[in-house]
Amino acid sequence: MFSAHILTLFPEIFPGPLGHSLAGKALENGLWSLKTSQIRDFAKDKHQTVDDTPYGGGAGMVMRADVLDAAITHAHSLLPNAQLIYFTPRGIPFTQKLAHELTQKNLILLCGRYEGVDERLLQTHKPLEISIGDYVLSGGEIAAITLLDSCVRLLPGVMGASESLSEESFSLDGDFAGLLEYPHYTRPPMWNGQEVPDVLLSGHHVDIRNWRLQEAQTTTKTRRPDLWKKFLA
């Protein structure tokens, strides 16, 4: 079973969105498990201090290596051989391919705050450092929710129809691999002066699939030239 252990200063954030919809139902049905630990519980002083001023000066505070080391060690005792992940703008980009790979492991997710963590902790534990985008968040909790939602929906039994995974954006297999998803339509057939494309009402499955593939290619070429270049290669 896919298991995740989150190290955070704000455990009350979880499960949050992960407790609803597909991820929440899968959690309730035991298809995956989620545990949180309060990082402050591993501080040794009476004030439960987890951060301190940076050596060399500068704004902000830095999370202490000794406190985080104790939290990580505890998490590893519960999930031996789990992949440790630290969320940081310096990390590798999170992708659908990486999401697929991470579903094959148990995960320990370290959610940083302030200016980040003591570099010596990263040198010691060598986590997989991940960025979910070229922007800065207040902490790693939202990134953890994003990563877990992306992973959980890939687990067997979570999604109702497996073919929906193979035709969505960033799929890895099939004719749609590497493309953005095609447009979708539903009832009513006429809305706001706009009609549903005739091919979708034709009942001809081959024609419908060809139309969707063409639309996916056009959308990718127009909106994400970088992905289109990879697709052509």
- Tokens describing residue 26: 């899968």
Place of tokens 């419908």: 208
- 38-62 pLDDT per residue, tens: 999 999 999 999 999 999 999 999 9
pLDDT at 171 over 90: no
- 110-163 pLDDT per residue, tens: 999 999 999 999 999 999 999 999 999 999 999 999 999 999 999 999 997 655
Give residue 168's pLDDT: 83
Residue 90: closest CA among 109, 68, 71, 115 = 115
**Cis peptide, bond prior to residue 15, ω within 30 of zero:** yes
Under 8 Å between Cβ of 128 and 75: no
Dump strand ranges (E) for the chain.
2-8, 32-38, 51-52, 62-63, 83-93, 107-110, 128-131, 190-191, 194-195
Whole-prediction pTM: 0.93
State how far the Cα of 203 lies from the Cα of 140, in Å rounded to an integer: 47
Under 8 Å between Cβ of 180 and 223: yes
- Could you tell me how many residues make up the chain? 233
State how far the Cα of 188 lies from the Cα of 199, in Å rounded to an integer: 16
pLDDT at 188 over 90: yes
Give residue 161's pLDDT: 61
Question: Which domains does the chain show, CATH number per domain?
Answer: 2-152 (3.40.1280.10), 163-232 (1.10.1270.20)
